[in-house]
A and B are shown apart, each in its own frame.
Chain A
Amino acid sequence: MILRRPFFWIILAIAALFLYLPLRSNDVSLREDLILIAIAIILASNLNLMIGYTGYVNFGHIVFYGLGGYIGLYLATVLGWNLVLSALMAGLAVSVCALLFGLLILRLRGAYFALATIGVLQAVQAFVANFDPWGRSTGMYLSFAVYQPLGGAMRALWLTYYLIIAVMALSMILSLAIKNSKFGLGLFAIREDEDAAVVLGVNATVYKAIIYSVSAFLPAVAGALMFYKNGMIDPSIAFEYMLSLEGIVMLMLGGQGAVMGAALGAALYEKLRSFLLTSPTLSNFHLVIAGGLLLLVVLFAPGGLIGWFYRVLPRARKVIE
């Protein structure tokens, strides 16, 4: 069923492109650029499940990424687990935590829910900064020898890249699958009018808790992989509030609700940010430009790029989801 959707094949093609381009010329620099874009797409796509599909704004989304990073790194270094296993376990652990937390805070609506997610992010960051086994404010540093089982640092970095691209493809496929399922319809109903949906038999509490938990899984796995690649983690880089908010900007820019919208917004924003940060004159203006863009989109084009594209070419709706 999902294999029949043309967009599924488009996702695979995109992933193949991400793999092929840097590999072709062994271009490490390009790989570093693409990995940042892939992470942005992972975060935005999974955030889309909460914001675009269910209509609940999650301001603290990055907490899943950071927590996944900590758990994954702890398993891989202190307990010596295999990388893939550590990442999967991190994803699972964070999802379970999200389920439990979700049941608590998802009874809140609208702005209160958004604020609660900020509270959760800050509370987790404060906890980790005091938690001895995870290095408190100093964080954890990987021994340089940890890459040896994978064949050395260079090979380990390429391996992590492949895994992250896989997670990226999975994120987009997950979004696509949910969108075309009965579960997804229930989410859309909650977004449009939660009370009506409940009356019509949608178990809103369960649906919301499930999607909150699901939206945590892949970002946590990505976090475990990414921080493994970075070789270190500390509370300030794991739980960057700004990254959480930039995820929302990416969604709005690309067009929330659409799978391609999340991916497009993420890719464009990440490219823009990299360009601005390394340009000597403009590096200070990256926030101004990003903010200005967001303002324009919110005030004048709330459907984002994809919204505009759908209006121009309505038939594309079936293909580019």
Chain B
Amino acid sequence: MSGVLASMIDGLLVGAVYGLAAMGLSLIWGVMDVINLTHGAMIALGMFAMYLLFGALMTNAYVLLLPVMAAGLLLGIVVYWMSVHRVVGRPMLMSLLSTFAVNMMVIGIGTAIWSTSPYNVNFSLPGITIGAYTFTGNHIAAAIGAVVIALALQLFLYHTRTGKAIRAVADNREAAELMGISTTAVLTIAFGIGIALACTSGALVSTLFPFTILSGATYQLKSFVVTILAGLGKPFGALVAGVLLGLLEGVVTPFIAVSWIPLIEFGLFVVVLVAFPQGIFGRATA
């Protein structure tokens, strides 16, 4: 196993989680044209939720994903009613600011409770060793979790009534209203799912490294990059774009210092924004 290949596999694993994190952002943006600036804070909350549940129950951390997802859904519904409902349909700046305001509040409360000292979820699954390289079990489990959830979301959106309703509202809200779909209910659920996805991705990475309430910020930025790469509203596209981003990181790191990666990613981000406004795979939105 060569160093480059090992690095690419590591990149793939970490990219799956980037993709999952981005899915929530992409869904919300695609359905209601709202850029959710609480995204990062929600990811961090997912990390802490896992920390608390694991501390209390001491079971396999990955089993605890389900309660975290459920909690995320509820949280999303609350946040929607608090800050998004009134500003859906109004200029983009309003929803940017209202979600940003909620983000500040969540970070403030999180800092008050947990401070900015690092926390750990000390749970390890055995890894897989190939030659000189070991791929940690936690990384593998996170990637598998991401793919499974992405598939589940895809099934949900395309094969259930609620899923179809969500896609209808994303396509054309007024027409959906006319068809008898309660758009408020749909928007609420869609937002809830978006947050649930964010929290779950946070929970998945909580076992990988020490985190604070501010750790969601890097994932939020990567989510933006991935969402722009994938185009809006196609959650599975977000997963693929996330994996590609991770792969890019994996391919590049053996050759240059790791500290150049953010520059490359953001450079790419700006270039894609300017050159491919619809994203590399996506469809155009207003």
**Is any CB of A less than 8 Å from a CB of B in the complex?**
yes
Say whether B98 contacts A107, CB under 8 Å.
Answer: no
Docked complex Cα distance between A116 and B228 (Å): 10
Say whether A122 contacts B105, CB under 8 Å.
Answer: no
Docked complex Cα distance between A51 and B94 (Å): 12
In the complex, B269 has a CB within 8 A of chain A: yes
28 contacts between A and B (CB under 8 A): A51-B93, A57-B96, A104-B274, A105-B274, A108-B274, A114-B92, A116-B269, A116-B270, A119-B224, A122-B221, A122-B262, A123-B263, A123-B266, A123-B269, A123-B270, A126-B259, A126-B260, A245-B104, A284-B115, A288-B104, A289-B108, A290-B104, A291-B100, A294-B100, A294-B101, A295-B98, A299-B83, A302-B94
Q: Which of B98, B103, B260 touches A298 (beta carbons < 8 Å)? A: B98
Docked complex Cα distance between A162 and B269 (Å): 40
In the complex, B87 has a CB within 8 A of chain A: yes
Bitwise interface map of A from 226 to 250 toward B, beta carbon under 8 Å scored 1, else 0: 0000000000000001000100110
Say whether A107 contacts B112, CB under 8 Å.
Answer: no
**Taking the nearest CB of chain A, how far is it from the CB of B6, in angstroms?**
24
Q: What residues of A have a CB within 8 angstroms of the CB of B270 in the complex?
A: 104-105, 116, 119-120, 123
Say whether B97 contacts A284, CB under 8 Å.
Answer: no
Say whether A119 contacts B269, CB under 8 Å.
Answer: yes
**Taking the nearest CB of chain B, how far is it from the CB of A311, in angstroms?**
19
Q: What residues of A have a CB within 8 angstroms of the CB of B105 in the complex?
A: 287-288, 291-292, 295
Docked complex Cα distance between A112 and B269 (Å): 11
Interface residues of B in 85-111 (CB under 8 A from A): 86-87, 92-94, 96-98, 100-109, 111
The chain B residue sitting closest to A248, CB to CB, is B97
Q: What residues of B have a CB within 8 angstroms of the CB of A287 in the complex?
A: 104-105, 107-108, 111
Say whether A108 contacts B101, CB under 8 Å.
Answer: no
Q: With A115-B228, A285-B112 as given contacts, are A295 and B83 in contact (CB-CB < 8 Å)?
A: yes
The chain A residue sitting closest to B29, CB to CB, is A111
In the complex, A286 has a CB within 8 A of chain B: yes
**Taking the nearest CB of chain A, how far is it from the CB of B203, in angstroms?**
23
In the complex, A127 has a CB within 8 A of chain B: yes
In the complex, B67 has a CB within 8 A of chain A: no
Q: What residues of B have a CB within 8 angstroms of the CB of A35 in the complex?
A: none
Not counting A123-B269, A123-B270, A295-B105, a sample of 19 additional A-B residue pairs whose C-beta atoms are within 8 angstroms of each other reads: A104-B274, A105-B270, A111-B92, A112-B273, A115-B228, A115-B273, A123-B262, A125-B262, A126-B262, A130-B260, A241-B217, A288-B105, A290-B104, A291-B100, A291-B103, A291-B106, A294-B101, A294-B104, A295-B82
In the complex, B277 has a CB within 8 A of chain A: yes
Say whether B108 contacts A285, CB under 8 Å.
Answer: yes
In the complex, A166 has a CB within 8 A of chain B: no
In the complex, B257 has a CB within 8 A of chain A: yes
Q: What residues of A have a CB within 8 angstroms of the CB of B98 in the complex?
A: 294-295, 298-299
If over half of B's interface residues share one DSSP class (helix, strand or loop), that class is named, otherwise mixed; here it is helix
A119, A129, A284 pick with most chain B CB within 10 angstroms: A119
In the complex, A118 has a CB within 8 A of chain B: yes
Q: What residues of B have a CB within 8 angstroms of the CB of A295 in the complex?
A: 82-83, 98, 101-102, 105
Docked complex Cα distance between A245 and B217 (Å): 13
The chain B residue sitting closest to A116, CB to CB, is B273
Docked complex Cα distance between A95 and B227 (Å): 30
Q: What residues of A have a CB within 8 angstroms of the CB of B107 in the complex?
A: 287, 291
**Taking the nearest CB of chain A, how far is it from the CB of B31, in angstroms?**
14
In the complex, A6 has a CB within 8 A of chain B: no
Q: What residues of B have a CB within 8 angstroms of the CB of A119 in the complex?
A: 224-225, 266, 269-270, 273
Say whether B96 contacts A291, CB under 8 Å.
Answer: no
Q: What residues of A have a CB within 8 angstroms of the CB of B94 in the complex?
A: 298, 302
Q: Which of A57, A122, A123, A284 touches B93 (beta carbons < 8 Å)? A: A57
The chain B residue sitting closest to A51, CB to CB, is B93
Q: What residues of B have a CB within 8 angstroms of the CB of A289 in the complex?
A: 108
Q: Which of A57, A110, A127, A284 touches B111 (beta carbons < 8 Å)? A: A284
Say whether A114 contacts B96, CB under 8 Å.
Answer: yes
Docked complex Cα distance between A115 and B228 (Å): 9
Q: Which of A51, A111, A252, A291 touches B108 (beta carbons < 8 Å)? A: A291
The chain B residue sitting closest to A252, CB to CB, is B97
Docked complex Cα distance between A107 and B228 (Å): 16
Say whether A110 contacts B273, CB under 8 Å.
Answer: no
The chain B residue sitting closest to A286, CB to CB, is B108
Q: What residues of A have a CB within 8 angstroms of the CB of B277 in the complex?
A: 108, 112
Q: What residues of A have a CB within 8 angstroms of the CB of B224 in the complex?
A: 115, 118-119
Q: What residues of B have a CB within 8 angstroms of the CB of A291 in the complex?
A: 100-108
In the complex, B32 has a CB within 8 A of chain A: no
Say whether A288 contacts B273, CB under 8 Å.
Answer: no
Say whether A245 contacts B111, CB under 8 Å.
Answer: no
Docked complex Cα distance between A130 and B263 (Å): 9
Bitwise interface map of B from 230 to 254 toward A, beta carbon under 8 Å scored 1, else 0: 0000000000000000000000000
In the complex, B267 has a CB within 8 A of chain A: yes
Q: What residues of B have a CB within 8 angstroms of the CB of A245 in the complex?
A: 100, 104
Docked complex Cα distance between A292 and B108 (Å): 10
B35, B92, B105 pick with most chain A CB within 10 angstroms: B105
